[in-house]
Amino acid sequence: MTVVLAACNTTPKDETAGMSVEKLYSEAKEEAAAGSYERAAKLYERLEGRAAGTLLSQQAQLERAYINYRTGEKAQALAIVERFIKLHPTSPAFDYALYLQGVINFNDNLGIFGNLANQDLSERDQQASRDSYQSFKQLIEQFPKSKYTPDALVRMRYIVNSLAAYEVHVARYYYRRGAYLAAVNRAQQALQEFQQAPAAEEALAIMAQSYDKLGLEQLRDDANRVLRKNFPNSGFIAAAPAK
């Protein structure tokens, strides 16, 4: 009995027990602004339960997702946002939820490929960036006038250009190692998926060079013709294999 009583006496007291939901939200915002993310997340979690069924509870969910994102807990952040999107499709904050989902998956270091000696570029996963693109795409289609739409459009262009550059980077990687068929395949993929991206220029050049190495002269000449037509001032034309 003494042990049980001692345990009861050491039970942490809920210091927010007497707070209104408005006060609890205010406290959480202040903690987050001060950089006390762990405490802010706990306060938002309590607020979700106390204000269940209200817009304030929805706001608390999104705030907690953002905190998890800021502190590097991307999986947790995504889980919260995905649950919100599933449960609250008519929420006034639905556009922000889509935007936040896109931002969490967005990788602004997409164009930095690291040390080639320590990774197989053909196996590098770009799915998060593609998921990010889809979230932003849904946002601008459903909420074209949302305040988050302009930034989403900028990020979408970056994703497209970066993914195209990545495919060309892999194609170049294969070409330099003599894997010419693999180089053609990756260059073609870049052209098929990202026709308007700047990297399309080099993709055509790699295709022409790879076909030349493979002895496929007609395909080489076709790739060169498309390169000259679409990029008449390209620096790759001078280096293109001759007919």
Token pair belonging to 128: 């998060």
Q: Give pLDDT, residue 243.
A: 57
Q: Give pLDDT, residue 113.
A: 44
* Contacts of residue 5, Cβ cutoff 8 Å, sequence gap at least 6: none
Q: Give pLDDT, residue 238.
A: 61
The answer to whether residue 47 sits within a structural domain is yes
Round to whole Å and give the CA distance between 145 and 211.
Answer: 47
Per-residue pLDDT at 112 exceeds 50:
no
The answer to whether residue 216 sits within a structural domain is no
Confidence of residue 108 (pLDDT cuts 50, 70, 90): low
The answer to whether residue 122 sits within a structural domain is no
Q: Could you give the angle at the alpha carbon of 218 between the alpha carbons of 216 and 195, nearest 5°?
A: 95
Per-residue pLDDT at 178 exceeds 90:
yes
Q: Give pLDDT, residue 173.
A: 94
Per-residue pLDDT at 78 exceeds 80:
yes
Token pair belonging to 225: 């013709």
Q: Give pLDDT, residue 114.
A: 44
Q: Give which of 107, 94, 86 is closest to 62, Cα–Cα.
A: 94
**Average pLDDT, stretch 49-64?**
91
Confidence of residue 14 (pLDDT cuts 50, 70, 90): low
Percent of the chain clearing pLDDT 90 (strictly above): 61
Give me the domain span that covers residue 51. 16-73
pTM for the model stands at 0.78
CB–CB of 208/196 below 8 Å? no
**Average pLDDT, stretch 38-62?**
90
Mean confidence (pLDDT) of the chain: 86
**Average pLDDT, stretch 95-124?**
66
The answer to whether residue 56 sits within a structural domain is yes
Confidence of residue 18 (pLDDT cuts 50, 70, 90): low
Q: Is the model more confident about 163 or about 8?
A: 163
> Based on the structure, what is the number of domains in the chain?
1
Q: Is the model more confident about 58 or about 6?
A: 58
Token pair belonging to 150: 């302009």
CB–CB of 107/81 below 8 Å? no
The answer to whether residue 25 sits within a structural domain is yes
The answer to whether residue 88 sits within a structural domain is no
Q: Give pLDDT, residue 52.
A: 87
Helices (H), the chain: 2-9, 21-33, 37-50, 55-70, 74-87, 94-105, 127-142, 149-176, 180-193, 200-214, 217-230
Classify the phi-psi angles of 13: left when phi > 0, otherwise alpha if psi is within -120 to 50, otherwise beta.
beta
The answer to whether residue 38 sits within a structural domain is yes
Round to whole Å and give the CA distance between 124 and 227.
Answer: 28
